[in-house]
């Protein structure tokens, strides 16, 4: 996963891995981000490769293969969520932010974005651990 992003130096890579420890103290959330950064989350694309499910299509949109990039950024449902999040962030803080894929996966690697990073991580965790399983259950 980390090779997807062109991080400028070792310091930036270290920030991406240590950011979660400064933003969130719950071990479950830290483990989730670790799995995401190391590309060991099990989404439909990986579950289909292992034969656990029959298709690798996105659980929500049924259009593309459910990869990390699609699930957290490209899917119309994810895209809508992040757009609404950006509007909410602006309404609360008066700070305009356009989140890129890199921001959603790694976080914003500067010194003043801890609160924003906290909300980004919560958005990912809720999507994967609450919404996704509920949606799968309703499809059964």
Give the pLDDT of residue 140: 46
Task: State how many domains the chain has.
Answer: 1
Question: How far is 80 from 102, CA to CA, in rounded Å?
Answer: 17
Average pLDDT of span 60-72:
92
Give the pLDDT of residue 8: 66
* The pLDDT of residue 80 is above 80: yes
- Listed in sequence order, the residues at least 6 apart from 127 whose beta carbon sits closer than 8 Å to its beta carbon are 71, 72, 78, 81
What percentage of the chain exceeds 70 in pLDDT?
89
Q: Which domain, by its residues, includes 117?
A: 2-139
Cβ neighbours of 71 (radius 10 Å): 25
Torsion of CA 132, 135, 139, 140, to 10 degrees: 70
- The predicted model scores a pTM of 0.84
More confident residue, 35 or 111: 35
* The pLDDT of residue 128 is above 90: no
* The pLDDT of residue 98 is above 90: yes
Which of 3-12, 17-26, 92-101 is predicted least confidently? 3-12
Radius of gyration of the chain measured on its C-alpha atoms: 15
Helix residue ranges, H only, 38-113? 44-49, 68-69, 76-93, 101-106
Bridge partners of 65?
57
Question: How far is 47 from 66, CA to CA, in rounded Å?
Answer: 10
């Amino acid at each position: 996963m980390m090779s997807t992003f062109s991080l400028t130096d070792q310091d930036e890579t270290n920030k991406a891995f240590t950011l979660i420890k400064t933003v969130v103290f719950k071990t479950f959330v830290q483990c989730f981000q670790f799995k995401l950064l190391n590309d060991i989350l099990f989404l439909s694309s990986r579950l289909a490769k292992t034969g656990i499910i029959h298709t690798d299509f996105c659980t929500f949109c049924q259009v593309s293969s459910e990869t990390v990039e699609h699930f957290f950024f490209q899917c119309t449902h994810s895209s809508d969520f992040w757009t609404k999040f950006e509007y909410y962030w602006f309404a609360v803080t008066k700070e305009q932010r356009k989140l890129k894929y890199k921001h959603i996966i790694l976080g914003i690697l500067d010194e003043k974005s801890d609160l924003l990073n906290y909300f980004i991580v919560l958005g990912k965790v809720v999507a994967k651990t609450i919404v996704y399983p509920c949606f799968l259950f309703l499809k059964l």
